[in-house]
Chain A
Amino acid sequence: MCGIVGIVNTDGKLIDGSHIREAIRIQRERGNGLGGGFAVYGLYPENKDKYAFHVMYDGDRNSPIITIVEDYLKTKTNIYQSEQIPVYPNDRIAKGPYFKRYFLKPIEEFIGQDRTEEDYIVEIVMTINNKMEGAFVQSSGKNMGVFKGVGYPEDIADYFRIEAYKGYTWVAHNRFPTNSPGWWGGAHPFTLLDKAVVHNGEITSYGTNVRWLEMFGYYCMLKTDTEVISYIYDKLTRLDNLTKEDACFVMAPTLWDEIDRTNDGKKRYLRQIYGPAIVNGPFGIILTHKNGAIVLNDRNKLRPVVCAKDGDTYYASSEECSIRLLSPDVEHIWSPKGGEPVIIDFPEEFVQ
């Protein structure tokens, strides 16, 4: 069991972190204090052309791993700005890792012909996370960032004082870990580039998904379902250029009988080639990116997800109460069917 909430202002209106803090706080019983976190978009408007790396280091400011990572980053990127991410220890969370953020751009000539700038950044993130013990990139997208750790989400919110940050999209996660241990890097949201995933569930297709991903150079180090779902989505949309709808279909496909009945050749084709990318078992996810969000449930709807729309603002949540708290008079509120994605796209004029 976990709790998730998302707020998406499709008009780009910025709100501070106090709203999402309250929305996830009232879902406190869906977590157990072993993980909470937030992702926010529109965070660094003055640096929005640069990748914002939130990096977590074991130890304190004198930790030797910091130099190793920074030396590595300097060989691959131009770092325009770096600073400590301020934290505010309190009696609920007295101590945590050391956090820094970097605004950087790849060194152009190193990217080469056969990969995109994004591929290049992903390789850097994978290298740090997989090969540099004691360092972990918590987020790496442009104009966005993740704040997460071990604790109840409202306490994590206070630890990072997220009410001081503003964004047009916010997501939150309240963790009740069942499979993987609770640690600061393993808290959610999980991110890759500008995509962040919060997830409630426990997928049973994990072994099949992981082996499929490994064929394409994705190595799942965190052993969490969220990581796997993020990589599947990334592989489908970024590498294979699937539409969001098709990517959701691959992860939670229509029954074969239905595909037969409608004689839908494309769906049959997608399901045939992407069989090992099917996500089975209970899950409810909110996947956010810089220009929108996707809400998706498993085919059997084994986890709760409620969606709502109020003007230009969309909400998604494990519990209706969070939405009612944020928007007491909301009228358009519904529970999406299993396997039927809710795809939220920013209108053209607000695309970031």
Chain B
Amino acid sequence: MSESISMKNNWKILPPFHPEFDLDRCDYKNGCTICVEECTFGEISLKPVKGKDGNILHRPWANMRACNSCQRCVKMCPQSAIHVVSQPMHTSHGYWKTEPVSNIWRQADSEGGVLLVGTGATGPQKRYFDHIMFDACQVTNPSIDPLREPMEIRRYLGRKAERYGGEVGPQLKLEVPIMFGAMSFGALNLRVQEAEAKATRKMGTYWNTGEGGFHERLRDYGANTIVQVASGRFGVSEDYMKSAAAVEIKIGQGAKPGIGGHLPGEKVSEAISKTRMIPEGSDALSPAPHHDIYSIEDLRQLIYAIKESTDYRLPVSVKISAVNNVAPISSGIARAGADIIAIDGFRGGSGASPLQIRQNTGIPIELAISAADRRLTEEGIRNTVSLVASGGIQNSSDVLKAICLGADAVYVGTPVLISLGCNVCQRCFTGKCPYGITTNRPGLAERIDVDEAAQALTNLLHAWGEEIKELMGSMGISAIEALRGNRDRLRGVGLNEEELRILGIKHAGA
């Protein structure tokens, strides 16, 4: 009922996508209704039609209102009878194109208020990774064949002494230089977190609980888990921190720098309420800033409060959004005692972010990580802290480019979801995720099979690890630590002098 009212109110809005059905292929005559059941957005309904012999059949029917191009129906149709088409031209205007116009329609109508979206920024800003090429070996130094020679991609994250005799703090050992970034229980289905935990244990790396607490069922995986302390402090207790391998203070995330979080009360089920330690059905609000961190001194106090309460056994990470001032901020965080700094570029994902913030705030991770690494090196404190880059990393080359620009390792988030089938339809915050990833609704959550999902994530880590070894071989590198900050192995293509200067790389041919 509410669907139809909202449709009526939203009469201005044109549907951006809709499914089309090939009725010759469709099995509706035998009563197949899979697409209707699979669609979680209410786009497909059944329409009665008269059969050949006069009987009533029900064929699938596009409602032309709610399709988000999640492609679930396409992927699930046993007859391959569906495809989704987009309607590119809503306006004929060269300046007032579809997106700004339909956003205004939506805001002027029932949706009103702040437009929300899921996943990372979609804007046309330059993807610097695509303008950076690796330099390979030819003749004067031999490339290395990863099938014949050992290639080492292990990384240790944490504080390290600058010289022999000094202390090495608690470390995270990564057998692949890729970790799964913070995504909370609540934003994610618990089954997805379980799959992350299993895959990271198998591959020797880490996943991150996000700020939604650490569910009891997953605590066995603590040795591969990074837990977050965010502004809402959900689920934070001494036991919570001690059960993990590292603690991360979340100051910000790339998709919404300077903005807090909001898990609507409807999503706060019994399990989520227990894990977050909040009443069932109440909104889980993360304030924009930590209300006890208004300066770098305050951050230092929190870092040491966490270290004290975990007996100095765990590395403490501080996660920030990539912003212009990232270099001095990183220096401050390192000097405040953090062991790891995670920097999340503006392409970083989110379960729910205000559209304007997601699209317009923050800076690209490529520039941010390079600036931070350079500043820490110039100040002679690079060894005291590890850098983790994230935000828009799409493949193993991006991972390695980020490392060459100064990262010790990376976080990936969206690739985790995509591995499980996600079609990046950006509707994560609705709780209607058709793949069962960003929802805890009974019936939908079960669309994730934990073992299958864990295998998919293991495959992804393995595949990227192998590709990284191939790339290293072509560059004549047999140990990945010889690439950290090694901008000499990179060249820019189509970048201006200022961009090259900030990245610290030369142009191709130079």
Contact = CB atoms under 8 A, between A and B. Distances in A.
Nearest to A279: B482
B171 A205 contact: no
Contact of B141 (A202, A241, A257): A202
A273 B163 contact: yes
A214 interface: yes
Interface in B453-510: 475-479, 481-489
Contact of B142 (A212, A214, A269, A302): A302
B383 A273 contact: yes
A278 B479 contact: yes
A281 interface: yes
A204 interface: yes
22 contacts: A202-B141, A204-B482, A204-B486, A207-B404, A207-B487, A207-B488, A212-B382, A215-B162, A215-B380, A240-B164, A240-B165, A241-B165, A253-B479, A269-B168, A270-B164, A272-B168, A273-B166, A275-B156, A280-B476, A280-B482, A299-B478, A302-B141
B380 A208 contact: no
A276 B164 contact: no
Interface in B408-458: none
Contact of B476 (A204, A214, A273): A204
A40 B380 CA distance: 36
Contacts of B152: 255-256
Chain B interface mostly:
loop
A211 B382 CA distance: 10
B377 A205 contact: no
A240 B140 CA distance: 33
A202 B139 CA distance: 10
A240 B142 CA distance: 32
A208 B484 contact: yes
Interface string B352-380: 00000000000000000000000001101
A205 B168 contact: no
Interface string B182-221: 0000000000000000000000000000000000000000
A199 B260 CA distance: 56
B23 interface: no
Contacts of A274: 164
Contacts of B483: 205, 208
Contacts of A178: 140
A42 to B, nearest CB: 31
Contact of B380 (A179, A216, A276, A282): A216
The 9 closest A-B pairs by CB, nearest first: A207-B488, A205-B482, A275-B481, A280-B482, A207-B486, A202-B141, A178-B140, A204-B476, A208-B486
B172 to A, nearest CB: 12
A214 B377 CA distance: 8
B154 interface: yes
Contact of B164 (A214, A242, A281): A242
Contacts of B163: 239-240, 273
B142 A282 contact: yes
Given A214-B377, A255-B150, A273 B142 contact: no
Contacts of A242: 164
Interface string B146-181: 000110101010001111111010010000000000
Given A206-B488, A208-B484, A282-B142, A300 B161 contact: no
Contacts of B150: 255, 257
B171 A272 contact: yes
B227 interface: no
B477 A211 contact: no
B162 A273 contact: yes
Given A202-B140, A212-B377, A300-B149, 17 more contacts: A203-B141, A204-B489, A205-B482, A205-B483, A207-B485, A208-B485, A215-B377, A215-B380, A239-B163, A256-B152, A272-B156, A273-B160, A275-B156, A276-B383, A281-B141, A281-B482, A282-B476
B481 A276 contact: yes
B140 A207 contact: no
A318 to B, nearest CB: 15
A205 B404 CA distance: 11
A352 B377 CA distance: 38
A236 B165 CA distance: 12
A282 B478 CA distance: 10
Contact of A201 (B141, B377, B380): B141
Contacts of A206: 486, 488
A280 B479 contact: yes
Contacts of B121: none
**Interface-centre pick from B162, B166, B479 (highest chain A CB count, 10 A):** B479
Interface string B95-108: 00000000000000
B263 interface: no
A272 B158 CA distance: 10
B164 A208 contact: no
Contacts of A257: 150
A204 B479 contact: no
A253 B140 CA distance: 23
B259 interface: no
Nearest to A282: B141
Given A215-B377, A273-B160, A208 B141 contact: no
B39 interface: no
